[in-house]
Amino acid sequence: MAKSNSRKNAGNHSDPASAPGPFEVMDCALIALATVRKAQNLRELRDHLQSIAPASVYYHFWGGLLLPRFEEREFNNDFASWARHGLHDDRLAERLSVIDPEEFHDIEHLRQELIEVIEQRLDESDHVPWAKTDRQFEFLHSKIVVFDTRKRIHRPEELPDAVRSMSGSSVFFHFIDAKRRPPQGRDDFSAWLSRFGEEFSLPCRKLEGIDPYFVSLVDLRGRIAKVLDEHFNGGIGHES
């Protein structure tokens, strides 16, 4: 996913050898951008996936979390949704829907898994599934525009309440998108807590063990807050 040049490395500005600086709470907005790539059938989808930009693969798995919706998504990624509603291939839709991007080291491994699932389905079929003209798969990519909320968290024990008050898009930025940012490749919450010493190693491990893919951002925020409450408040917290 392409990023705005205004992005800051949230909560991680200080020299690692010095006392940790405050956690800088950011928010973000998603801007979807069109590409020239479209697929009318399953073979074309496979062919485009072999060369489409990594940012596009990322968008079609994660971008839907930040888009306004009035109902819960039937599928967690756009490829599964198109297989069901564009190609009317329930078997393929089911196979694509269970792919969890969190299980792959990087986008290239995720891309290869997609291609393998699609090629397996092509091998099984006597014909190549086609979509109607108005149901083509359109490859998109996006930019994340980052905003500084001016909110700062100075002490670890402030983090549970701070997380509960964050917007879903802030949670996305600090927990999901952060894992794609070098050099650490981890969520901003555990990265910040780890700088305060070994006493926070357990909640950091628990945070890193949360899989954010099959839940909404509201549910994800609640799971993060619960882990933090268990450490700082003995599990006594507020409902998210």
Measured CA to CA, the distance from residue 94 to residue 116 in angstroms comes to: 14
Angle between helices 78-85 and 90-97 (to 10 degrees): 170
pLDDT confidence bin for 211, thresholds 50/70/90: very high
Most confident listed range (1-5, 67-71, 185-189): 185-189
Measured CA to CA, the distance from residue 171 to residue 189 in angstroms comes to: 10
Report domain extents, the chain.
30-140
Give the amino acid at 23: F
* Residues 100 and 64: beta-carbon distance below 8 Å: no
| Closest C-alpha to 1, from 75, 95, 110 | 110
Measured CA to CA, the distance from residue 115 to residue 47 in angstroms comes to: 9
SS3 119: helix
pLDDT at residue number 15: 42
> Percent of the chain, pLDDT > 90?
76
Give me 56's structure tokens.
């596009």
Measured CA to CA, the distance from residue 181 to residue 130 in angstroms comes to: 37
Give me 149's structure tokens.
């909320």
Q: What angle do CA 220, 222, 225 make, to 5 degrees?
A: 110
Write down the pTM of the prediction.
0.85
* Residues 159 and 229: beta-carbon distance below 8 Å: no
Greater pLDDT, 240 or 210: 210
Q: Model confidence over 78-132: pLDDT tens digits?
A: 999 999 999 999 999 999 999 999 999 899 999 999 999 999 999 998 889 899 9
The mean pLDDT value of the chain amounts to: 89
Looking at the DSSP assignment, which residues form a beta bridge with residue 28? Answer: 146
Give me 160's structure tokens.
């549970």
* Residues 169 and 27: beta-carbon distance below 8 Å: yes
CA dihedral 117, 80, 56, 71 (to 10 degrees): -160
Helices (H), 11-167: 42-49, 54-62, 78-85, 90-97, 107-124, 159-164
Q: Model confidence over 131-178: pLDDT tens digits?
A: 999 999 999 998 899 999 999 999 999 999 999 999 999 999 999 999
pLDDT confidence bin for 234, thresholds 50/70/90: confident
Calculate Rg over the CA atoms of the chain. Answer: 20
Residues 6+ apart with CB under 8 A from 168: 65, 66, 216, 217, 218, 221
In the predicted model, is pLDDT for residue 18 greater than 70?
Answer: no
In the predicted model, is pLDDT for residue 186 greater than 90?
Answer: yes
